[in-house]
Structure formats: C-alpha cells, structure tokens
Amino acid sequence: MPPKKRARLSAADRREQLISVAEKLFAEHGVQPTTVEDVATAAGVTKPLIYEHFGGKEGLYAVVVDRAMRQLLDHLVGSLTSGGSSREILERGAVALLSYIEEQPAAFRVLLRDSPTWHGNGSAASIMSAVAGQVEDLVIEVFKRNNLDVEVVPIYAQMLVGMIGFTGEWWIESGSSLPRDTVAAHMVNLAWYGLGGIEKDPKLKTL
C-alpha cells in the first residue's frame, strides 16, 4: 500500500508556519547568523518560497517582530484598561507581561534582541514605548491623587515598564523556579510602595 501523501498547506497556513519557524531560529541563534536557507531547511521548504512570501530575511524578520509585538500588546492592553484601582491595574499588568513571557518565550527573546542595522525600528525600544504609553494613565492617577507634577509622569512610566520587562527577562533566562505570581507580587511590591513614598520635589543627596 503506497504511503499517504502529506496534506498540502494553504498559503496562509504555510506563511504562519514560516513565521513560527523563523521566530524560533531568531530567538535561539540571533537574527544576523540566521539565513534564509536555515529557515527553509527547518521548515522543509525551498528558499524561493520564503522570498515569495516575505521578499527575503528582512521582510520575514519584520513580520516576526510585528506579530510578537501585537501578541504582547494584546496581553497587556486589556489588563491596563479594564478598570479597578491603580494597585489592581499594576498587578494585572505585571501578571499579563509575565504570562506572555511564559507562554511565548521565543517571541519575547526576539523582541529583546537588538534589531539588526537594516531594521529601522529597534524592537525592544518600540514595544517598551508602546507599553509605557498605556502605563502613563495609571501613573497619572497616582500623581494627581498625591498632588504631584504630572509633567514627569513619562519618566515613571518608562521606569515601571523597564523594571517589569528586565525582571521578566531575568526570570525566563535564568530558569528561576519562582512561580509567575510570586515574581509579579515582588515587582508590584517595589513599584507600588515606591510610588506611594515618592517625594514631591526630589533632590540628589550627593550634589
């Protein structure tokens, strides 16, 4: 009895397969060392098919980054815009980011890597700026309630996002056995009580 032919993938399914394969390779080896031939071999296709779908490695990388950013923002936006107290919003945001890292480690690694010289927008910088924009609304509420200068809110939003993002990177890369919610609780502990105790007009003590 002759072996059954493998079902042929539709163009849309093939495209998704190629994106997933490329994401894994970019995360494991970096963008620059990974070639179109590497992706084609791992996906079991020919190089011309990748050029047909994406125009080359640059186009494929851009699609991988765009998908990873969209997935992360999908995780975060709901947690930051669904209401509740400032503390609750902060907790949901931390858990949402760590959930994304836990579920999509390859995508997160791609976002954290420095973008190659031919890619115009730095991926990590772009996603952090997008998330910080969402976080500003949370920080403004805290500042207004404490009669603080809202002009500096973007600084605090960037710091909060950076703290959560880099801690998340450590958590996934170090192989820490700490559960997601424990890590989130400690991040919120520092962020919240730090916000709760900030001075109205801070000065450097050593100057």
Q: Has residue 116 got a pLDDT over 60?
A: no
The number of C-alpha atoms within 13 Å of 88 and in the hemisphere containing its C-beta is 6
Which of 53-62, 69-78, 153-162 shows the lowest per-residue confidence on average (mean pLDDT)? 69-78
The predicted model scores a pTM of 0.75
Query: Please, which pLDDT band fits residue 64 given cuts at 50, 70 and 90?
Result: very high
State the chain's mean pLDDT as an integer: 83
Q: Has residue 3 got a pLDDT over 50?
A: no
Q: What is the mean pLDDT of residues 64-92?
A: 80
Q: Has residue 140 got a pLDDT over 70?
A: yes
| Burial annotation 69-104 (CB, 10 A radius, 16+ → b, else e) | bebbbebbeebbeeeeebeebbbbbbbbbbbbbeeb
Question: Model confidence over 165-190: pLDDT tens digits?
Answer: 889 889 988 989 999 999 999 988 98
Q: Which amino acid appears at position 11 of this protein? A: A
